Structure 1
Amino acid sequence: MAWRGVHIAKPARLSFADGQIVINQDDGSIRLPLEDIACLILDTPQITVTCAMLSACAGQGVAVIVPDAKHHPAGMLLPFHQHYAQAHVAQAQVETSEPFRKRCWQAIVKAKINNQASVAAMRDATAAKALRAMAGQVGSGDPDNVEARAARAYWGALFDDFRRSDENDRRNACLNYGYAIARAALARGLVACGLLPAFGLHHRSRTNAFNLVDDLIEPLRPMIDRLVAQHAPAPSTAALSKEDRQILVGVLTETVWIEQEKLTLLAAVEKIAASLVRAIDAGSAAVLLQPALDAP
C-alpha cells in the first residue's frame, strides 16, 4: 500500500527507471520506489518530468499535483479505468436513490460536527459540548442546515479574530492548501474503487468535477483545521511559505480512527471509498464508514 506524499519545491528533473522515480537536482539525485508513493506534489514551475514517469504514476495510481503561481494546488493527474468493475460501480453510483444520498449526507455532517467538537475542545470546552449537541440534531439530508450553525460556533472557538472568507488571512491560505492536499488523496481513493468523483451525494454542481470528493472530505476537514491551529493560530497577512506547505503536506500521515482502527489519512480515504461502494451495493448508508478524531 502506498504510504507517503512527496513534496518537491526545488528545481528538478523527474524520470522513471526500474520501478522508481528518479529525482535529479543540482545537489545530487535520489530514487524513490513508486509503489510507496500516493501523492506527488510538484511545487515549483522549475520542474521537468518525462512522459514515462507520468505514465508510470497513472499506472500505479499516484496522484500528481501541480500548483498555480501562488503555490495553491491547481491541477491533478489521476488514472483512468483502474478498477476491475469500473462500469458496474459507476452505474450503481449514478442510480442511487435520493433517500440513500440524504441518509449518507446526514451521517457525513454528523461525523464532521463531532470532529469539529474534538478540535474545538482544545480551546473551548463549552463550544465543544454545544457542537456535540448539534451533531445529534442533524436530520436526513440536514434540512435544518445544522452544518452551517455548527460552523459559526466552531470557527469562533478555534481562532481569534477570524473570518473564513478573508483571503488575506494566512490561516485561510493554510486551510485551503491542506484541504486541497486531502482532496487529492480522497480523489485518488475514489478512482481506485471505480467511483466517479463528479457524481456527489449532496454536492451536485454541474461545474465541479469532484462533487463526491467534496462530500466525503467534510469529516476530514477538522483534521486539517487542527494542524493549522497548531501551526498558525494567530492572524497574519504573510504569504503561504515553503515551510507552511511542507508542514501541511504532512496531513497525509496524520491519523484518524475508523471503527476500532487508527489509520493515516492516506489509508483512511481508501477505507472510506471502499465502504461507499459497499454502501451503494447494499443500499444502506449505515455501511458508509466515517472517520473520527477521538478514539472510540
Structure 2
Amino acid sequence: MQNAWRVIDCTELEGRITYVRGRVSIQPTNADSPTEVPLAQTAVMLLGLKANCSTAALYELAKYGVSVILCDWRSVPISAMHSWSETHTYVTARHIAQSQMSLPRKKNAWARIVQNKIRGQAACLDSQHIDGGGLLRGIAAQVRSGDPANVEGYAAREYWKRVFPRDHEFTRAPGSGLGRNAQLDYAYMVL
C-alpha cells in the first residue's frame, strides 16, 4: 500500500499548481520561487477556491494515488477526487472491491449501513435523554437486504420528530438551504 504521508494544504493559496517531473510545483502569486513537493511522499492535497491547478497536475496526482479534496471559502471540504489508477492505495483498493461486489452483497452491505445509521440515531436520542431509542432499535431490526420497504425513511421521520418535538412542521430536506435544514446541512458537512 501507499507510503505517502504529506498533506499539502493549498486552501489559502492564491497561485498556480503545476506538475514537474514527479513533483507538484506550488507557485503563490506573490512569491518569487515555487515550492516543489514529491508526489511519492504526498497522500492528500487540499485545494481552495483561489488555487489554479493544471489538468496535468491533477492527472499526475491521481496517478500517484493522491486524494485531492476541494474546499469552500471557509476551508471546509466539499468534494474529493480519489484515484482509480493502478496505484495501490487504501482508497483505490476499497473502490475497486466495492465496484466488483455482487448485487446481493451490495444490498446486504446497504442494509448493514442503514441498520447502523438507525442504531446511531437511537444512541443520539439515548445520550440526550430523549425517548425513542428503543423504538429506533426495533426499527433497525426490521431492515432487510437493500431496504426495499424504506425503513430508513420511517426511522428518520421518527428520529427528527423526537429531536425537534416543538416544530411539528419540520421535514428534513437536505440542500434546501432554509432554516433548520441549512443548519443541519452545515453540521453534516463539518462532520
One-letter code aligned to 1:174 = Y
One-letter code aligned to 1:37 = A
Q: CA deviation at 1:36?
A: 4.4
Aligned match of 1:13 in 5, 13, 16? Answer: 16
Per-residue CA deviations over 1:216-240 (Å, capped at 9, x if unaligned) read: xxxxxxxxxxxxxxxxxxxxxxxxx
Where do 5+ consecutive residues of structure 1 fail to align? Answer: 179-247, 252-296
1:22 aligns with 2:26: yes
CA contact (8 A) 1:124 1:157 kept: no
The TM-score normalised by the length of structure 2 is: 0.62
> What is the rounded CA distance, in whole Å, between the counterparts of 2:8 and 2:122 in structure 1?
28
Q: Where is the strand percentage greater, Structure 1 or Structure 2?
A: 2
**Cα distance, 1:129–1:75 mapped onto 2, change above 3 Å:** closer
> Which stretch of structure 1 is more off in the superposition, 125-134 or 2-11?
2-11
Counterparts of 1:60-99 in structure 2, within 5 Å, are: 60-66=64-70, 77-82=81-86, 93=100, 96-97=102-103, 99=104
Aligned match of 1:37 in 34, 43, 47? Answer: 43
Q: CA deviation at 1:147?
A: 0.6
1:132 aligns with 2:137: yes
One-letter code aligned to 2:177 = E
> What is the rounded CA distance, in whole Å, between the counterparts of 1:137 and 1:5 in structure 2?
45
CA contact (8 A) 2:13 2:28 kept: no
CA contact (8 A) 2:63 2:87 kept: no
Aligned match of 1:48 in 45, 52, 55? Answer: 52
Classify the secondary structure of the residue corresponding to 1:143: coil
> What is the rounded CA distance, in whole Å, between the counterparts of 2:27 and 2:127 in structure 1?
40
Q: CA deviation at 1:132?
A: 1.8
Where do 5+ consecutive residues of structure 2 fail to align? Answer: none
**Cα distance, 1:5–1:49 mapped onto 2, change above 3 Å:** closer
**Cα distance, 1:53–1:141 mapped onto 2, change above 3 Å:** closer
Q: Which residue is 2:63 aligned to? A: 59
Q: CA deviation at 1:171?
A: 1.3
One-letter code aligned to 2:15 = A
**Cα distance, 1:158–1:8 mapped onto 2, change above 3 Å:** farther
| Superposed CA RMSD | 4.3
Classify the secondary structure of the residue corresponding to 1:22: strand
Q: Percent identity?
A: 28
**Cα distance, 1:108–1:31 mapped onto 2, change above 3 Å:** same
Counterparts of 1:103-252 in structure 2, within 5 Å, are: 103-158=108-163, 161=167, 162-165=170-173, 166-169=176-179, 170-175=182-187, 178=189, 248=190, 251=191
Per-residue CA deviations over 1:240-266 (Å, capped at 9, x if unaligned) read: xxxxxxxx2xx4xxxxxxxxxxxxxxx
**Cα distance, 1:6–1:113 mapped onto 2, change above 3 Å:** farther
Q: CA deviation at 1:66?
A: 4.3
**Cα distance, 1:42–1:134 mapped onto 2, change above 3 Å:** same
Classify the secondary structure of the residue corresponding to 1:111: helix
Q: Where is the helix percentage greater, Structure 1 or Structure 2?
A: 1
Q: CA deviation at 1:134?
A: 1.5
* Count of residues in correspondence between the two structures: 173
One-letter code aligned to 2:86 = Q
The structure with the larger Rg is 2
The TM-score normalised by the length of structure 1 is: 0.44
**Cα distance, 1:124–1:82 mapped onto 2, change above 3 Å:** farther
Q: CA deviation at 1:64?
A: 2.6
CA contact (8 A) 2:17 2:24 kept: no
Q: CA deviation at 1:10?
A: 4.8
Which fold has the larger relative contact order, with Cα–Cα distance below 8 Å and residues 6 or more apart in sequence? 1
